[in-house]
A and B are shown apart, each in its own frame.
Chain A
Amino acid sequence: MGARYLTRRLLSAVATIAMIVLINFVLFRAMPGSPERMLLGRLPGVTQEVLEGTRERWGLDKPLFPDQFVAYIGATLQGDLGFSYTEAGSTVTEVLLSRLGPTLLLFGLGELVAIALGLALGAYSGWKRGGLVDHVGNAISLFLYSTPYFLLGMALLVTFATALGWFPTFGMVTPGRQYTDVLDHFGDIARHLALPLATVSLGLIGQYAILMRSSILDTLTEDYVTTARAKGLPEGRILRSHALPNALLPTVSLVAINIGYVVAGAITVEVVFNWPGLGTLTVEALSARDYPVLQGVFLLLSVTVVLANLAADLIYGVLDPRVRT
């Protein structure tokens, strides 16, 4: 991979993150109320010394720009995002970290399932264009594509949890339950995870299948596929070694770009199932006007998305020599 390609991608990622921090700073100062109260939240037992220490630390007695901005960047880089309003005494970073695990579990697994199934479905229906799987799959993909995640979640919840009683209706674990061993604990989480996971995967499968299908269709008219046919290779071999590797390329960037959109879905799916992750945290913070936590969520999610895009660009560069310019 060329050094120029690498530098350009890195620089653009750094610039994007800088812009996110700038937006966060501007939002932070646009908020009603004094900034020091904002930073301390409802921290119990705030004395005059603590208040002055905060003013000092964040440069609140100095001009807004550049002093306060520089202080803000410094604090952000050290992971100091202020205190939560609602969870008195906890820093925003602590609150975020406590909710990160469930979200990673739900969406990490959801992405994996959706990538595997969505790409397989798309590749198969594109290859057998006009067949039964293609027609049915296309209709289902289009339908899933137009359904917001949370509606899908509500439908699954009311059918499989409320009506049939196969799965619990909310949370990640049964409240107050004593576990006999680790396996028992895992089993409980898995039962709670099943429906939200199905929601996330189904929501994503539609998009991945649609993209993979059109990607496969594009490769079918390429010269190298015609050549492979002319050589007399069997169909399965053409698909596996000629069409698939090339058709997979665009999906790499789609998966990364998607993470940004998945975020909106993440928030709502967690709300439907009361899954204790970053999504429910966002909604709790929103209704309590807990702005420091909201900003923390925004910063964390945007930086994650930027890094995912950077990773996708780099992987793309390794896979496809044509873009390394």
Chain B
Amino acid sequence: MTAPVMPLASETGPRRVTVRFDLLRALVRRPSGLIGILILLVFSVLALVPDFFVGELETAVTATGPRLGAPSAEFPLGTDELGRSMLNLTVHATRISMVIGLLATVITVAVGAGLGIVSGYIGGRFDYVAMRIADFFLVMPTFVLALILTSLIRDVLGTGSKEIAGIRLSLLVIVVVIGITSWSSTARIIRSQTLSLRERAFVDRARVIGASSGHIMRRHILPNVMNLIIANTVLTFAGAVLTETTLSFIGLGDPFQPSWGQVLEAARGVGALQLGKWWYFVPPGASVVLVVFAFTLLGNALDDVLNPRRLAAR
């Protein structure tokens, strides 16, 4: 945690940047942090420029391979039931899975951290109501709510082939639903940190010189919970990828913009498991496991670096 000195307005910008570089350096020095970052780097590059590596996403029309063909020189990861290259499909699915995961994480962390800071700082009735709602979401099985909400919102909106910024509306519904159902643990964590920060002397000082609540939350509370938000973002991302994969796997994906879960669902649908066509589900399956594993490693490394209690115990 950063030292509880009162940061001057001109100081916060550059100071925060140096702190982050220290963080990155400390992470790379740990084997778990380094492995996590390297795996995520590979998948991020694939997600950014899939066309550069494997060309455009193949369709039933443009596919050239055999039906459910085993891996060969021409198709290193085999082909699916439409003759599409599994390599092409998996790399393009990487983009969809990572983008949905990222957007859902942004919503989750923004709502969770915002609500956590405001709730903790303001307190009173607002805090009470917000935290009861958070507790409710923590207790109940949010996954079942997510799957009902997803199919319901799609039915109401009538998401056909509408797209926003290149992402199909049906997938954006998943993003929003993941956000709605998973902000509560972030809010809880950030709120409890805010509660202790609120009592510190530098917050009192700011209040005494006449700073508004909004200013204090932005300038004094937020920078001090930033580390916590970063650590939480990593875990949230892993959870978002898992939730999206699971929702797609039970049939809520979009075949026109396949994610890893959607490919896995297709593999199950054509009976690849019973036919022993392992190349249909191993590439997307291994990708999911690797990415979630990388986030978990990174999360553990971050926890070691940022948690002063653990440092002391070492």
Contacts and interface: CB of A to CB of B under 8 A. Distances in A.
Interface of A: 12, 15-16, 19-20, 23, 27, 30-32, 142-143, 145-148, 150-151, 154-155, 157-158, 161-163, 169-170, 221, 260-261, 263-264, 267-268, 271-272, 282-283, 286-287, 289, 291, 294-295, 297-298, 301-302, 305-306, 309
Interface in B135-194: 135-136, 139-145, 147-149, 151-152, 155-156
B209 interface: no
Contact of B139 (A32, A154, A157, A260): A260
A226 to B, nearest CB: 15
18 contacts: A12-B135, A16-B139, A27-B149, A31-B152, A31-B156, A147-B289, A148-B288, A151-B289, A162-B273, A221-B313, A260-B142, A263-B141, A267-B246, A267-B250, A271-B268, A294-B148, A298-B145, A302-B141
A142 B148 contact: no
A147 B293 CA distance: 8
Contacts, number: 129
Interface in B249-289: 249-252, 264, 268, 273-276, 278, 281, 285, 288-289
Which 8 pairs, one residue from A and one from B, show the smallest C-beta to C-beta distance? Answer: A264-B143, A146-B292, A146-B293, A263-B141, A260-B141, A302-B140, A162-B276, A151-B285
Contacts of B250: 267-268, 271, 282-283, 286
A145 B296 contact: yes
Contact of A264 (B140, B152, B246): B246
Given A16-B136, A32-B156, A260-B140, A289 B151 contact: yes
Nearest to B146: A264
Contact of A305 (B140, B275, B278, B295): B140
A142 B294 CA distance: 10
A271 B151 contact: no
A286 B143 CA distance: 13
B246 A169 contact: no
Given A20-B140, A146-B289, A158 B246 contact: no
Given A30-B152, A162-B275, A264-B243, 18 more contacts: A16-B135, A30-B156, A31-B155, A142-B293, A143-B289, A146-B289, A146-B295, A148-B246, A154-B264, A157-B273, A158-B273, A162-B273, A267-B143, A271-B250, A283-B251, A302-B140, A305-B139, A306-B140
Given A272-B273, A289-B151, A19 B251 contact: no
A295 B148 contact: yes
A27 B148 contact: yes
A163 B313 CA distance: 48
Contacts of A261: 141, 143
B238 interface: yes
B195 to A, nearest CB: 19
B222 interface: no
Contact of B274 (A12, A170, A298, A309): A170
A301 B148 CA distance: 13
B176 to A, nearest CB: 15
Contacts of B238: 146
B152 A282 contact: no
A286 B273 contact: no
Q: Which residue, of A145, A271, A282, A286, has the highest number of chain B Cβ atoms within 10 A?
A: A286
B242 interface: yes
Nearest to B276: A162
B97 to A, nearest CB: 12
A151 B139 CA distance: 26
Contacts of B142: 260
A291 B149 CA distance: 11
A298 B268 contact: no
A147 B281 CA distance: 14
Contact of A142 (B135, B147, B268, B296): B296
Q: Which residue, of A151, A301, A302, has the highest number of chain B Cβ atoms within 10 A?
A: A151
B139 A169 contact: no
B88 interface: no
Contacts of A305: 139-141
Contacts of B313: 221
B119 interface: no
Given A151-B285, A158-B278, A286 B251 contact: yes
B12 to A, nearest CB: 35
A286 B151 contact: yes
A146 B288 CA distance: 9
A31 B96 CA distance: 29
B245 interface: yes
A289 B193 CA distance: 43
Contacts of A302: 140-141, 144
A85 B151 CA distance: 16
A294 B149 CA distance: 11
A96 to B, nearest CB: 13
A309 B252 contact: no
Contacts of B249: 148, 150, 268, 271
A192 to B, nearest CB: 14
Contacts of A169: 273-274
A23 B145 contact: yes
Contacts of B145: 23, 298
B101 to A, nearest CB: 14
B155 to A, nearest CB: 6
A148 B144 CA distance: 16
A31 to B, nearest CB: 7
Contacts of B246: 148, 150, 264, 267-268
Nearest to B147: A286
A146 B273 contact: no
Contacts of B276: 158, 162-163
B144 A263 contact: yes
Q: Which residue, of A145, A150, A163, A271, has the highest number of chain B Cβ atoms within 10 A?
A: A150
A252 to B, nearest CB: 16
